[in-house]
A = this chain, B = another copy of it.
């Protein structure tokens, strides 16, 4: 959207810029390490599916203060000319470590670690969090929906009720990684090359004086279309599809009917019987309307003859968990581990690695350790950007990420993939080395009287 105009680099909180000017004035230029993690999982999530790092890397690669950004900051009257000149030359020159998109992660585990001169790593906090948060929220929700559908296709219908246009695009992307089959969002198809899907709405049927005439006209133009049958009376609508089949004979190629309201299970059984009785076994049944993973699981468990699901709002806003307790915290500065001790929010210091310990190809538990300690399992964080430039590990196609997610999800213990909370939850240990670092730093804080 050309309007309103904003400079991407200003997708930041004002305090980042006031801090940057302070770092500039104090000549604080050492390398900082920031760790992005989720403090705890939502009640209805047994894992999170990490997503969004590609957008973070694209942002970091192109980060710069354009003329409009500098002029706007100047107008605020808080920033010196010297500092604005410094911003004009600022680029992101740091290192990024990240788990590949589509990797299941757990509480306290870093999804991303950024190491860069403190100003660069500080400035990007809000954007990095915003994108990883959004896409991880949505991919994690979609993985549940796709799992509940047990191989039936899931199509994203969420554009109209997602939170804005960026969310709608990034959702389609995250959903693809999580295994969603297609999206109704044409812009997302254009932007990402995703499969797009869609046929007709109630308004098309209503705009015709007669439902049968609407079906006939639509099938003439799109012979293998899906026909929406619930504008007036669902089963009567299905019978009109049967009428159309009789009328068209061998030219009839309608692929499915869509149910969008009412008791979808009962209606699906009814529709299936009508279609089968008419010899239309090849006509599938597609269901939509207020669906989420619980409702889909219920329909699947009841054996409802539904071949695919259109899922909108509930997946599109992740209604049961629209946000995560995500944090982006300074864990090291100038080579020294940093921690924060305020109530209930104790930080783990230093550069970290996640080790996934597997038995017979299935994840048993994770160990959160220091990045430089000997691996006790498969290391998940990869070095995706060096000196501000992507490394090969940072160039992953959407389809590769989707395949990765499938592989990784298949390696989770089965009960984590259930919709119900896993008891006990997946185990994440701290390595002995990391615990030592944490305790040493805490003792040092106590000694230095930072608590005074």
Spell out A's residues near B (CB within 8 Å): 1-8, 10-19, 21-23, 25-26, 28, 32, 34, 55, 58-59, 62, 68-69, 72-73, 76, 78, 118, 122, 125-127, 129-131, 133-134, 137, 157, 159-170, 184-192, 196-204, 206-207, 210-211, 217-218, 221-222, 225, 230-234, 236, 260-263, 313, 316-319, 322-324, 326, 328-330, 333-334, 338-345, 445, 448, 450-452
Establish whether residues A163 and B163, one from each chain, have CB atoms under 8 Å apart when the complex forms. yes
Contact partner of A342 (CB less than 8 A), chosen from B72, B170, B233, B340, is B233
Establish whether residues A203 and B122, one from each chain, have CB atoms under 8 Å apart when the complex forms. yes
Establish whether residues B13 and A186, one from each chain, have CB atoms under 8 Å apart when the complex forms. yes
Establish whether residues A445 and B232, one from each chain, have CB atoms under 8 Å apart when the complex forms. yes
Between A and B, 21 residue pairs with Cβ closer than 8 Å are A2-B62, A4-B192, A5-B191, A12-B159, A12-B185, A14-B196, A17-B186, A19-B200, A19-B203, A28-B207, A32-B207, A69-B190, A125-B201, A133-B160, A163-B317, A163-B322, A164-B169, A206-B339, A231-B340, A316-B323, A322-B322
The distance in angstroms between the C-alpha atoms of A253 and B71, with both chains bound, is: 28
Establish whether residues B129 and A160, one from each chain, have CB atoms under 8 Å apart when the complex forms. yes
Q: Tell me the nearest residue of chain B to A338, going by C-beta.
A: B206
Copies of this chain held together in the complex: 2
Establish whether residues B343 and A262, one from each chain, have CB atoms under 8 Å apart when the complex forms. yes
Which of chain B's residues have a CB closer than 8 A to the CB of A6?
Answer: 169, 187-188, 190-191
The distance in angstroms between the C-alpha atoms of A343 and B266, with both chains bound, is: 13
The distance in angstroms between the C-alpha atoms of A202 and B103, with both chains bound, is: 29
Establish whether residues A342 and B231, one from each chain, have CB atoms under 8 Å apart when the complex forms. yes
- Contacts A11-B168, A330-B207 hold; do A202 and B340 have CB atoms under 8 A apart? yes
Contact partner of A11 (CB less than 8 A), chosen from B68, B125, B131, B159, is B159
- Contacts A164-B166, A191-B5 hold; do A203 and B344 have CB atoms under 8 A apart? no
The distance in angstroms between the C-alpha atoms of A4 and B134, with both chains bound, is: 16
- Contacts A8-B1, A26-B217, A345-B261 hold; do A32 and B185 have CB atoms under 8 A apart? no
